Chain A
Amino acid sequence: MPDSKEMLDQTLLDMRSRCLSLAADLDRLDRAREIGTDPRLRQIREAIAILLESGPNRAERIHLILSDKTPPPHGKK
């Protein structure tokens, strides 16, 4: 298994690319204006905040932010 430095060496360029890609997506949306209040974008901003937090399971926590939280039909769990 690679150690943490090797892991960072292997993934840094991809992380950099994905970070810039997301920044460019947000810039593009800003330029389009009016969309700023869309609740889907609010969820994305909440998800981005998770990225800046410490602690495990960031992917799982972001999934839960982006999940439907309404109750199931017919009293199913």
Chain B
Amino acid sequence: MKLIDPHIHCVSRTTDDYQFMARCGVVAVSEPAFWAGFDRSSASSFADYFHHLTDVEPARAAQYGIEHYSWLCINAKEAENVSLAREVVRLIPPLLDHPRVLGIGEIGLNKNTPNEIMVFEEQVGLAAEHNQLILIHTPHLQDKHKGTAIIIDILKNDRRIDPRRVLIDHCEEHTIRMAREAGFWCGLTIYPRSKLTPQRGVDILEQFGPDQICVNSASDWGESGPHTLIDTLLEYRRRGHPERDAIEIFYNNPCKFFGQSPRWKLSATCGNIVS
């Protein structure tokens, strides 16, 4: 079965992970821009990072038969520095025509501060102005519920934003309902220490159904790994769900959401390259 990891930070992962994913049937990944584990000192660091995302990782992934796409933004944590954030945002428009860039992301909130909210709104505006898909990062742990509500409120009140072109990621039991009721795509991140376990992820899939939900590993520099996506697929199948439903969740749904970008080249029905 072919799989897609719709959210993984390959810049933080080893080549062994690409080998592992390829062996497990992962044929494509998407990598949002994020906080690298430290605050960068200048916008030029982000220029290098965007080159890494758009050119270096696609070439590395291709060695293992994996299609690699990316998203560009200033992440919520470093957005606290508003002047740096605005410098970084100015780097983005010329890159939006890059054949590997799917949209703006992962934008959102971290600690729900006024600065984060201001930069988030500016990046939503950037996406609207350039008709880009949006990938949303919702905050961690105790900040998630409040931050998700703020994000959804901002997006719902922006008439330029079509919720079907926005994926709200890192949803959990207490936030997925508000995201779905507003018509957004939802991401389930299987990252057991701070987000979901495979079992809880499948519980949510069983309660809400597969429509407009993508499952990802969000593997990064923390305790994480691409195996969590596979573990979730195995848990889903172990509970007796048919392969066709698994294909819908783990392959077709990412194709459907990403396929709203003309740069995404995989077909939702057969997994072949379209052009």
Residues on B close to A: CB < 8 A?
Answer: 112-114, 117, 141-146, 149-150, 152-154, 172-174, 199-200, 203, 238-241
Contact = CB atoms under 8 A, between A and B. Distances in A.
A66 B142 contact: yes
A60 B112 contact: no
A72 interface: yes
A70 B146 contact: yes
29 contacts: A1-B239, A1-B240, A2-B239, A2-B240, A59-B172, A59-B173, A60-B173, A60-B174, A63-B144, A63-B145, A63-B173, A67-B142, A67-B144, A67-B145, A67-B146, A67-B174, A68-B112, A68-B146, A72-B112, A72-B146, A72-B149, A73-B112, A73-B113, A73-B117, A74-B114, A76-B117, A76-B150, A77-B149, A77-B150
Q: Which 10 A-B pairs have CB atoms at the shortest separation, nearest pair first?
A: A63-B174, A67-B145, A77-B153, A60-B173, A59-B173, A76-B150, A1-B240, A73-B114, A68-B142, A60-B174
Interface residues of A, number: 19
Contacts of A76: 117, 150, 153-154
A57 interface: yes
A37 B204 CA distance: 34
Interface string A6-22: 00001100000000000
A57 B177 CA distance: 12
Contacts of B153: 76-77
A57 B173 contact: yes
B145 A68 contact: yes
Nearest to A56: B207
Contacts of A77: 149-150, 152-153
Given A10-B238, A57-B173, A73-B113, 7 more contacts: A11-B199, A59-B174, A63-B173, A67-B174, A68-B145, A72-B146, A77-B149
A68 B72 CA distance: 29
A13 to B, nearest CB: 13
A41 interface: no
Interface in A10-62: 10-11, 57, 59-60
Contacts of A60: 173-174
Chain A interface mostly helix, strand, loop or mixed? loop
A22 B51 CA distance: 45
A52 B122 CA distance: 45
B204 to A, nearest CB: 9
Contacts of B239: 1-2
Given A1-B239, A2-B240, A59-B200, A64 B154 contact: no
A74 B146 contact: no
B225 to A, nearest CB: 20
A72 B173 contact: no
Contacts of B203: 59
A54 B35 CA distance: 40
Nearest to A40: B142
A10 B241 CA distance: 16
Nearest to B196: A59
A4 B54 CA distance: 48
A1 B237 CA distance: 9
Contacts of B146: 67-70, 72
Contacts of B113: 73
